[in-house]
Structures are given as structure tokens and as C-alpha cells.
Structure 1
Amino acid sequence: MGNTMHSYEPCKGSGLRHDPIAAILGPRPIGWISTCDDQGRPNLAPYSFFNVFNYRPPIVAFSSVGYKDTVRNVQATGEFVYNLATRALADAVNATSAEVAGDEFQLAGLTPRGSALVRPPAVGQSPVAMECKAIEVRQMQDHLGGALDTWMVFGEVVMVHIDRALLSAADGNYDTTAAQPILRGGGPADYFEITPQARFLMRRPS
């Protein structure tokens, strides 16, 4: 039996048409991050390197490949808002991924909604928003200590807003499938959505 594994060192290239790591570790939740600069001007951009990393307090993090306005604004103000990227808002999410001068809310036809504890606005059309206070902004390094043009942003969630339609009347549980979040794949245009048929239950052993 021949070798069935395709093995490679990332520093030397995969030998494949597209680097598969982002596809293997996916689909990934999208951090649709709104910020404002020190003059109060809003910014909105999606980040596919995003997730939650602690329960209490809830801590989320995203990374930006390149020192972009979002990172600059978080460093200046110490605040950001995570907005849920949904199937209904997919075109708007995509529109805000463009690096343009001006207001991404206006560009994508979105309505800013005032936040309770932070200055950046939320996306009014999104059914979920999490207001965050920055904990750390860190430039990433490789294993040899070399600086990368990638910036990691950690934030503590200090306020959560959820459309009541996504909360079960019976037990108050959040319905992930009803929210129809979109997820990022590994290809240049690959996205996924969650459907009720994709759900299965598996209890952790006691």
C-alpha cells in the first residue's frame, strides 16, 4: 500500500493550488467588527480569524493580516463591537471587506445602532451584537521570534444584545440555526451556512 498522506512544510509551500490550512480549520465564524477612531468616525470590517476563548469573563479575539484601520482604532480607543454575520447580511458583509476610504456602514447600506457601554456603533440590521473592551493588541511572531505583519486583538465582552426572536420561548436557549450565521471557508470565495439538518447532539461523558 502506497503512502496516502500529502505532507509538506508550510514554509516551503504546500505544492497545492491553494493553501489548505484555512479550509481544514474551517468553516470559521466571522468577526464582523465595528470600531471608531479617536474622532468618532465609524469603521466596519469582517475578519475570518475570529473566535471566543473564555467563558467568564467572555473573551473574544480576532487577528488582522496587515495593520488595518480596525486595529488602529482599537489601539486608539480600547473598544470594538462584534456583530453577527448572517446569511441575510452576506452581501453587506462582503461589501465591508473592501479596503476603501469612507464609511463602510454607508457603503453597505447599513444602519449604525448606538451601543450601551462602548463608543463604536453596532450594525443595526444584525440580530446579535457584543460590545467589547480591548484587553490586548499584540503583533504576532513566528517561532524564531520574527515579527509578522499580523495583529491579534483580544477583547472582553461587556454587553450582549440578542434579538428576542432567537431565544427559545420554552427555555430561553439561543437558537444558532435560526440566526443563520455564515461561516468562512478556505477558498477565496468559500462561505458556509448552518442549517437545522446539520445539527446533532452528543453529550460529554460524566
Structure 2
Amino acid sequence: MTVTQPSWAKQSSSIPASSSSGPSKAAASAKPKQASSGSWPGLGVSATLSRALVLRGFKIPTPIQRTTLPSTLATPPRDVLGMARTGSGKTLAYIIPLLQRLATSTSMAVGPKALILCPTRELALQILRVGKDLGRGKGKEGGGSAIKWALIMGGDSLDAQFEMLCSQPDVIIATPGRLLHLVVEMNYDMRSIEMVIYDEADRLFEMGFEVQLH
């Protein structure tokens, strides 16, 4: 899991990693001072999202969430490289700050605000389910419209995905190959994006998506 800001939006540097002998250790050690709080509000999660998490059975943050949320919820946010086992709560670790920033955003820019890139259609669908469930009814604070999601991946209709992007979604969840195809075909402007997330970044590179990611 990698959470970063695009180059045009960056305000702070990545979390420095301590010295290590390999990429796995570096990823695990690339973390800020860990928060000791065992509660969602103690990590900076809003009251609205905290209640939603508890109602869905997520009563206390997991280690990956306690480690990364203080950085991703900071002002300005810091880049984060996180690694943890399957089932450890990685998806929520980035969905929570994504939803909170969308709810409090004052940006007037037209276009998507967040991009989530992942290697497979199955993972993209899973991310969408988690995001929609936790984000239900949580648009901008003060009664704004609901969050709009666009799912861009191979195997689905190109025409339908053209329409999704033209509808100005708040969040794009995509596999790199299909997204690149649509961006080129549509000359799609993505400069409004403020948050970029790579889910299973190691697999994205292993599967040959390095060129598309750059």
C-alpha cells in the first residue's frame, strides 16, 4: 500500500525509511512516530467516520492503521509506504483518510480528487465495496452530494467507462492499462487529483505496469 500526492500537489516529503538490507524491510520501517491511541478519534478520525467504523464492527484500529493514519490525516498529509499481511486492514488504512479529506475539501477544482490504482479487477471491486459501504451518505460536510466513484478496469464496456469519467467522479479506482487507454483516448485532465494510492504496488510492478505508472 502506497499513499502519495501527485507531483503537482505535493507539500511534504515522503516518510523517511531507516536503513535496511532489502525493500521489504524498508517498506515495513517507513513509518512515522506511531500513535499510542487505541481509538479512532485519537488518531484524528472524524466523529462521523469513527461512528461509522464502530457500527461496522471496527471498534479499534489495527497496527497498520495506527501507524499510517497520523501521517495521512495530517495537515499537510505525508506520503506513506505501508506493508502488512492480508486481512490486516490495509484497505481501510487509506479509505479512511480518503473519505475524510473528501468530506472536508474546500477545493473548487473540477474533476476527480483521488486515484486508486490496483493490479486486478477482483481487487478493484473489493476496494469499491469497502469505499461505498463506509462512504455511504458521507459527501462534503454541510450537506454536500454523495461521493461519486468510477470503476475503470479491463473486461467492462469502454463506452460505460467513458461516461463514468465524463460524469466527474470524486474517486477513480482503476487498473493501470485500461485507465491509460481511456486517458489517452479522451485527453482526460487528471490535474485535479490530490491523492494517489497504489494498492499492492509490488504486484503492479511485477505484472509489468511500471511504464504505465510513470
What's the TM-score, normalizing by structure 1?
A: 0.26
Structure with greater strand percent = 1
Structure with greater helix percent = 2
Structure with higher Rg: it is 1
Greater RCO structure (CA 8 Å; 6+ sep) = 2
